[in-house]
């Protein structure tokens, strides 16, 4: 894990009159949780095995890239980030190792280190977009991409990641309506309402989170864990 200094997080879709929220310093995993780590978890916690988990906590595609309950198989290398895991499963994993999921504010702060260097910000955008422009190939091994200013790997352009409060930005399903001021109640604010309308990489991340339900287990969605105190 690496320490991430606290700061002030300005919501991407701010509610009218919402001030940036303070974020206390925290610790974040250097890389996403891997297949090998998740395998150790389900070995010990039977209720989270693929054939045992209730549909209430994970949809049918849960761990569908694995060969079996306790068998990774050729499509899930031990060192690759685990995907096809629901929010419930991710939360349970983090709890089992004395951690928790990061909040959206924590994740966004960690992933977008404050920087005067426009090139650094451009690089984030470039990596994110290259991810969406590439044909869907194999997942790289966790930790393979260069670390950012906080020493964290794989935050952009590898997989989407669960956060604890992914429902915090309630972008409406029709993302063009979000600029309607009547939608304060929905915390909406696409395009003109977003704090940085040209950060379309961020738009994609927020749109993706807005499409999720807690039971979803998706091909390109994994997670990493956080702690409020040093590990």
Partner 1 sequence: MIEAQLGVAPQPAPPVNRAHAAKVIVKLEVREVVKELADKVQYMFWTFGGNVPGPMIRVRKGDTVELHLMNHPDNAMPHNIDLHAVTGPGGGAASTFTAPGHQTQFTFTALNEGVYIYHCATAPVGMHIANGMYGLIVVEPESGYTVVDREYYVVQSEFYTHGAFREPGLQPFDMQRAINEDPAYVVFNGRDGALIGDRALPANVGEKVRLFLGNGGPNLISSFHVIGEIFDNVFPEGGTVANHQVQTTVIPAGGSAIVEFALQVPGTFILVDHSIFRAFNKGALGMLKVSGPENKQIYSGLEVDEVYLAERSAKATEALKGSKDGGDSLEARMARGKAVYMGTCSTCHQLEGQGLASVFPPLAKSDFLMADKQRSIHTVLAGLQGPVEVNGQTYNNVMPPLANFTDHEIADVLSFVRNSFGNQGEAVNDAEVAAVRAELKQPAAAGHP
Q: Which residues bind partner 1 (CB under 8 A)?
A: 61, 129-136, 160, 171-178, 190-191, 198, 200, 203-204, 206-208, 210-213, 216-220
Alpha-helical (H) ranges within the chain are 35-44, 87-96, 104-111, 118-133, 200-210
CB of 203 to partner 1, least distance (A): 4
Rounded least distance, CB 160 to partner 1, Å: 8
Closer by beta carbon to partner 1, 36 or else 172:
172
Structure tokens belonging to residue 181: 């001021």
User: Cβ 216 to partner 1, closest distance in Å?
Assistant: 6
| Residue 82 C-beta: closest distance to partner 1, Å | 16
CA distance 190 to 179: 6
Q: Which structure tokens are listed for 126?
A: 């470039």
Output 44 or 133, the one with its CB closest to partner 1. Answer: 133
Burial of 53 (0-12, 13-18, 19+ CB in 10 A): buried
CA distances from 95 to 58, 156, 220, 227 (A): 17, 24, 22, 10
Q: Find the angle CA(141)-CA(124)-CA(127) to the nearest 5 degrees.
A: 50
Nearer to partner 1, 36 or 212 (CB): 212
Minimum distance between the CB of residue 62 and partner 1, rounded to whole angstroms? 11
Report the residue number, 34 or 199, with the smaller CB distance to partner 1.
199
Q: Which is nearer to partner 1, 108 or 178 (CB)?
A: 178
- For partner 1, the closer of residues 23 and 163 by Cβ is 163
**Least CB distance to partner 1 at residue 181 (A):** 17
- Contact 95/44 with Cβ under 8 angstroms? no
Q: Supply φ then ψ for residue 110, to 5 degrees.
A: -65, -35
């Amino acid at each position: 894990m690496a320490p991430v200094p606290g700061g002030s997080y300005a919501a991407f879709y701010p509610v009218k009159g919402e001030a940036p929220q303070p974020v206390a310093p925290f610790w974040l995993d250097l890389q996403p949780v891997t297949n090998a780590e998740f395998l150790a978890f389900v070995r010990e916690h039977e209720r989270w095995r693929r054939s045992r988990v209730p549909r209430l906590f994970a949809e049918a595609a849960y761990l569908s890239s694995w060969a079996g309950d306790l068998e990774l198989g050729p499509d899930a290398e031990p060192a690759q980030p685990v995907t096809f895991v629901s929010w419930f499963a991710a939360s349970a994993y983090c709890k089992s190792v004395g951690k928790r999921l990061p909040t959206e504010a924590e994740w966004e702060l960690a992933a977008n280190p404050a920087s005067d260097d426009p090139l650094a910000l451009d690089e984030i955008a470039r990596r994110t977009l290259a991810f969406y422009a590439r044909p869907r190939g194999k997942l790289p091994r966790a930790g393979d991409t260069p670390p950012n200013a906080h020493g964290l790997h794989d935050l952009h352009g590898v997989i989407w990641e669960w956060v604890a409060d992914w429902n915090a930005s309630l972008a409406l399903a029709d993302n063009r309506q979000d600029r309607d001021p009547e939608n304060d109640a929905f915390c909406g604010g696409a395009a003109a309402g977003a704090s940085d309308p040209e950060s379309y990489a961020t738009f994609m991340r927020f749109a993706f989170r807005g499409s999720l339900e807690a039971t979803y287990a998706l091909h390109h969605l994994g997670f990493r864990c956080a702690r409020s105190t040093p590990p």
